[in-house]
Structure 1
Amino acid sequence: MAGTPAYTVLAQAQWPGVDLLVCREDIRQRTLWSIEQPRHTVIVHLGGTMRELDTEIDGAGSTHAPPSPGDIWLVPAERRYASQARGQVITYAELRLSPLADVDLGNESRMPLDELMPRLGHRDEFLHYSVARLGRLSQNADDLSLMMAERLQLLLRQHLYDGYRLPVAPRPEAGSLSPQAARRLCDHIEDCLDQRITLADLAALAGMNVHQLLIAFRRNFGTTPAQYILAQRLRRARWHLLNGNADIADIAFDCGFASHSHLSAAFKRDTGITPRQFRDGLRMRADY
């Protein structure tokens, strides 16, 4: 992550086609980051407070909400990522993968990580905890730690291949979202999270009918509009839970949930814990 030099490298490691970097960085002054390189980059926010974050990935839209620990950005090779942030001292990890880094599919078959889908402020608990664990293992020099790290980076490759490969190109009539349309959709959803959002509204913003939107949206974002909106509402709720003392019912309404119980049910399905447990637990926890 190119930016100011006010950071400390906490851990780093390298395997064929894969690099890991874990850093602590002071972002009390506005900090600019950019990525545009021939490798895929997975960025995981591990800890520390961000008050502001504006991020854009070419062709994948933008996001303007600050992250919570565990939020993930995936920047595919050759895509431009630009971001500006302000907050406190944060820790983050970058996993950089060559598109030629391959995955064992069995039966002596291997496939490269050639094309991955972009992600902005995404949630993937396996990816979060595995990258954090890989960073901790990489701080050790003993043979067992090195062996476990080697195995874990292979599992991470497999996970990215299984869950983040770019879908097969759509039929010509299906089309895909232009970078401008993707940005309009992201901005509209983020601005209206506390309101009712309809497929008809999103389709009109994209200049498509609803059927075309559903196909194009999945190709660009790897999920449905409803799943994407829920993920963004949960992301906003996580940030408020960790960075304020508002009542959980008020947070629910502010994030577009119908009630405290509606937020709690969605939150527990997503994380396995309640909003209150999340607030109490992560406030006491430090990854590094």
Structure 2
Amino acid sequence: MAEITEIQGRWGTVELAVTREDIRAAASWRMHEARHAVIVHLGGPMRQLETELDGVATRPSPPAAGDIWVVPAGRNYASQAHGGIIRYGVLYVDPRSLAELAGPEGAQIAPRFAHRDEFLYRAVERLAGLIGRDDDVSELLGASLGQALSLHLLQRYRADEAAPGPRGPLLSDRARERLQEHIHARLGDRIALDELAAIAGMSPHNLLVAFRRAFGTTPAQYVIAQRLRRVRWLLANSAQDITAIALETGFASHSHLTTAFRRHVGLTPRDFRRRWREDS
């Protein structure tokens, strides 16, 4: 049986559960919550991951620390994973608290899978460090972080900003899955908008609209994010040199990767690898 340890903290309407789990024998999770849930991978090797939301499956490349999954309230989420000893946090936010800030419609948030959000990641890590501390300063800091995270969800993940509306092109569940599979399988190659449009059965213009509604980002930004996720995993879990990693993940050179990595992650690939090994 998998070894699991969990700690929990609550600050007003925000709750955080941080779990350390051994998934060397594989593990599966299911979730159906009345609250919004933000799952944050905080560390540890995960070599295989499959996720599903309302019956629609995704198979992202293995996550690195800081990758997040946003599961809106009332949605059915399931996942299976295999790896080592991992640590993850689940942040729960009551939709009613968001409704008080933005009205009933504003309380709805859009799902994200294997997304990167440095503020959310670092804030959850900081909040995790406050669990079990009951001094006044820690309580005030926890309440402030909880409020900041709620506001961040409203600003960055509101469903009316990313979800499909009544008009305009939409991606079917099957088209969305096929696009993800194609992109994840071709991260080392040039991925053209025309080929993605052909897979979706749309014009390039309609794909741009439908893709943003489905994924909350443009195809180009999504591809970059997935390439960098793969880079982070290879840096943490392989001995490949950085030039080889760059070429394998679609970057033209070591310097091209370093520029993109520093812009999105805030560290060079070399520094990221060094810090990961120091923390492991």
Q: TM-score range by the shorter chain?
A: over 0.9
Q: Which residue of 2 aligns with 1:245?
A: 239
Do the aligned residues in 2 keep the contact of 1:16 with 1:101 (CA within 8 Å)?
no
TM-score (norm 2): 0.93
The alpha-carbon deviation at position 63 of structure 1 amounts to 2.7
**Paired residues of 1:103 and 1:161 also in contact (CA < 8 A):** no
In structure 1, give the amino acid aligned to 2:80: Q
Structure 1 length-normalised TM: 0.90
Equivalent position of 2:279 in the other structure: 285
Alignment deviations for residues 51-84 of structure 1 (CA, whole Å, 9 cap, x no partner): 1111232387613311111111111122222211
Name the % identity: 50
Alignment of 1:15-30 (within 5 A): 15-30=11-26
Structure 1: 4+ residue segments shifted above 6 A: none
Give structure 2 stretches of 5+ with no counterpart: none
Q: 1:176 corresponds to which letter in structure 2?
A: L
CA distance in 2, matches of 1:242, 1:171: 40
d(CA) in 2 for partners of 1:33, 1:171:
31
Equivalent runs, 1:1-288 vs 2, <5 Å = 6-9=3-6, 11-58=7-54, 62-102=58-98, 110-111=102-103, 114-168=107-161, 172-285=166-279
Q: Which moved more, 1:34-43 or 1:84-93?
A: 34-43
Q: Give the superposition deviation at 1:85.
A: 0.7
The answer on whether the counterparts of 1:63 and 1:120 sit within 8 Å (CA) in structure 2 is: no
Q: Which has the higher helix share?
A: 2
Matched-pair contact (CA < 8 Å) for 1:166–1:219? no
Offset of 1:281 from its aligned partner?
Answer: 1.3
Work out the CA distance in 2 between the residues paired with 1:123 and 1:217: 17
User: 190-199 vs 173-182, which deviates more?
Assistant: 173-182
Unaligned runs of 5+ in 1: none
Residues 180-223 of structure 1 show CA distances to partners (whole Å, capped at 9, x for unaligned) of 11111111110111111111111121121111111111111111
Query: How many pairs align?
Result: 278
Greater Cα shift, 204-213 or 41-50: 204-213
Query: Residues of 2 paired with 1:78 and 1:120: CA distance?
Result: 16
1:160 is paired with a residue whose SS is helix
User: How far apart in 1 are the matches of 2:164 and 2:86?
Assistant: 39
Say if 1:125 and 1:151 are closer, same or farther in 2 by CA, change over 3 A. Answer: same
Q: Which amino acid in the other structure matches residue 48 of structure 2? A: E
